[in-house]
Amino acid sequence: MLLVRGMLSGVVAGLLALVFARIFGEPAVGNAISFESALDAAKGDAPEPELVSRAIQSSFGLATGVLVYAIAFGGLFALAFAFAYGRVGRLTPRATAAVVALGGFLVAFVVPFLKYPANPPSIGNPDTIGERTATYFVMVVLSIAIAVGATYLGRRLLPRLGGWNATLVAIAAFIAVAAIAAFLLPAINEVPTGFPAAVLWNFRVASLGTQLVMWTTIGLLFGALVHRPLTQRAALLAATAH
């Protein structure tokens, strides 16, 4: 039940994120490609042949990538919700979904984004794409692992410090360890000299906004879909126990 609702939420979230990315992200990508083409022309390099046309990339390619990504994250979100529900205090299903969505957005995207911010596809050396992808996913995995550890620490400190103080200590521990992990990972900056700062800024803001739209939609919609059945089930179990 939860997995289906999570993937359904991912479909809707993907559609909304696609609209956002198409409106706000694609213009920056187009400007970045134009800059790269002008740079190659200034060097006298012949433009590389397109394996996939720009029209397909910005329409079908973008839609496929965003939807597959959102559906997969919707399923993972459902699993995370199933683990968190009933373990993060006496929260309703809607509130639990909102907390999981906020935590997922911050831990799985914002923290890695601060170390390795998104760049337009045209930026970067093709020979280092494997290294760049690997280091980014290492940062994502480390961020998630540190968040799990901080959550465990908060639960252990709860009886001694109380809910508020235990939460603050857990958050501080997460920030400190995540900062150390980010510092130890290699820095990668392949933005070419002279690249328009406004284009880079707009693309990164659009990337952040696309993720925010996706996570917000999944959290709110999934919470709405599971609130009633889970609440009714809890009430039935409570009535049966009495």
- 182-191 tens-digit pLDDT: 999 988 877 7
Q: Report which residue type is found at 175.
A: I
Q: Which residue has the higher pLDDT, 66 or 143?
A: 143
Mean per-residue pLDDT, 117-146: 83
Looking at residue 53, its pLDDT comes to 47
Contact predicate 2/195, CB 8 Å = no
Q: Which of 138-152, 189-203, 224-238 has the lowest mean pLDDT?
A: 224-238
Please give the structure tokens belonging to residue 19: 């609209």
Output Rg (C-alpha) for the chain, integer angstroms: 21
How does DSSP classify residue 191?
P
What region, left, alpha or beta, does residue 144 occupy, with left being phi > 0 and alpha being psi -120 to 50 degrees?
A: alpha
Looking at residue 82, its pLDDT comes to 87
The pTM for the full model equals 0.81
Mean per-residue pLDDT, 219-226: 91
In angstroms, the CA 106 to CA 159 distance is: 26
- 70-105 tens-digit pLDDT: 888 888 899 988 888 877 767 888 899 999 999 999
Residue with tokens 């919707």: 74
Q: What percent of the chain has pLDDT over 70?
A: 81
13 C-beta neighbours (distance < 10 Å), count: 29
In angstroms, the CA 29 to CA 59 distance is: 13
Q: Is the pLDDT of residue 241 over 60?
A: no
Q: Is the pLDDT of residue 58 over 60?
A: no
- 109-130 tens-digit pLDDT: 999 999 988 887 767 666 677 7
Q: Which residue has the higher pLDDT, 193 or 170?
A: 170
Alpha helices per DSSP H over the chain: 2-20, 26-43, 54-56, 62-84, 93-105, 111-115, 129-184, 197-241
Q: Read off the pLDDT band of 35 (50, 70, 90).
A: low
